[in-house]
């Protein structure tokens, strides 16, 4: 798992790009409402209604969902067999069964819809990052749950790509569900969460695919940049300590992301060839005024003046 810290995720091939676009189209279609419904017209008029759980209609409005989750829901429901709508114990078993799925965060009390069937309102977990498992990637939710389903490249939310968090330990044997993550991963997830909370959709889209390496987050010093964000085209961002460490004197995460937002604005002005007129290779977000190092570094005279200024300090 050390390899993602060395380079930002590579651009996918043309075939992979087309595949991801198709997946994105599927995800866009399901944004209707947040709920999942299990409905049936199998009604026993001589006793009470029985819901055939193999006949399901699903409507989802989650901001992000893996298309494979629908198949998991259907399989889990079908395995329950017919449920009597007045059998509280059977209804509770259905809730427990669905609650065991890695991507299910919460299920409201089942509602009987007479005479049509049963309504289950399900809230999905929202992924904030992903981890690399071999040559594939698996999403992680804001509460640290490893979500089912692997991807050939970092998956994309509506606003931008899920950042790849360096775990600092093997993840090959992990199963979907709750995970005891090492500190490096916990800190990386905290940075990813603050990214989604602080950056505007415009900037999230401009980031592209990124890697968050927080293995040195807790040992950050003036000379040690702590958490590093690795962007495409060789750009690097020093973030300092992760927001979950709550260290005194650390710049608030929202201020750091505002600094990166300003740095991204520099890249918007391009020449006729599409190259940024001012490109940068490093941004240090740890200070009140972020330091932006242009592509190729500072001119020698600027480097000498900066070194002199540090000595005076």
**Segment-wise mean pLDDT, segments of 10 residues, the chain, 313 residues:** 45 42 34 33 48 71 77 88 82 90 90 74 91 94 95 89 92 90 96 95 92 95 94 95 86 95 91 86 94 83 49 47
The residue among 4, 63, 11 whose CA lies nearest residue 32 is 63
d(CA 140, CA 131): 7
- Residue 48: the pLDDT is 53
pLDDT at 38 (0 to 100): 40
Q: Exposed, middle or buried, 311 (CB in 10 Å: 0-12/13-18/19+)?
A: exposed
pTM: 0.78
Predicted pLDDT of residue 119: 81
The answer to whether 306 touches 313, Cβ cutoff 8 Å, is no
The residues facing 240 across adjacent strands are 226, 227
Say if residue 123 is exposed, middle or buried (CB neighbours under 10 Å; 0-12, 13-18, 19+): middle
- Contact predicate 240/257, CB 8 Å: no
Q: Which helix (H) or strand (E) holds 294?
A: strand 291-294
User: Are 240 and 227 within 8 A, CB to CB?
Assistant: yes
* Contact yes or no for 266/294 (Cβ under 8 A): no
């Amino acid at each position: 798992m050390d390899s993602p810290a060395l380079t930002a995720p590579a651009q996918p091939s043309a075939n992979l790009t087309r595949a991801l676009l198709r997946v994105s189209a599927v995800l866009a279609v399901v944004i209707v409402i947040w709920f999942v419904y299990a409905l049936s017209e199998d009604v026993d008029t001589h006793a009470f209604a029985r819901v055939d759980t193999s006949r399901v209609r699903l409507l989802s409005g989650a901001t992000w969902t893996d298309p494979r989750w629908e198949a998991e829901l259907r399989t889990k429901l079908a395995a329950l067999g017919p449920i009597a709508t007045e059998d509280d114990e059977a209804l509770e078993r259905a809730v427990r069964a669905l609650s065991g799925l890695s991507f299910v965060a919460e299920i409201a009390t089942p509602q009987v819809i007479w005479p049509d069937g049963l309504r289950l309102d399900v809230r999905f977990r929202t992924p904030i990052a992903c981890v690399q498992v071999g040559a594939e990637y698996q999403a992680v939710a804001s509460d640290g749950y490893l979500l089912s389903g692997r991807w050939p490249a970092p998956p994309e939310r509506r606003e931008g790509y899920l950042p790849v968090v360096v775990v600092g330990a093997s993840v090959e044997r992990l199963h979907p569900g709750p995970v005891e993550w090492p500190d490096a991963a916990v800190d990386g997830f905290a940075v990813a969460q603050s990214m989604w909370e602080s950056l505007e959709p415009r900037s999230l889209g401009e980031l592209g695919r990124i890697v968050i390496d927080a293995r040195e987050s807790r040992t950050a010093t003036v000379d040690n940049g702590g958490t590093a964000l690795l962007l495409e085209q060789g750009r690097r961002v020093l973030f300092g300590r992760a927001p979950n460490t709550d260290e005194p004197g650390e710049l608030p995460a929202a201020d750091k992301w505002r600094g990166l937002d300003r740095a991204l604005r520099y890249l918007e002005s391009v020449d006729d060839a599409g190259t940024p007129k001012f490109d940068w290779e490093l941004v240090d977000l740890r200070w009140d005024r972020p330091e932006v190092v242009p592509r190729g570094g500072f001119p020698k005279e600027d480097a000498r003046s900066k070194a002199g200024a540090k000595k005076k300090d």
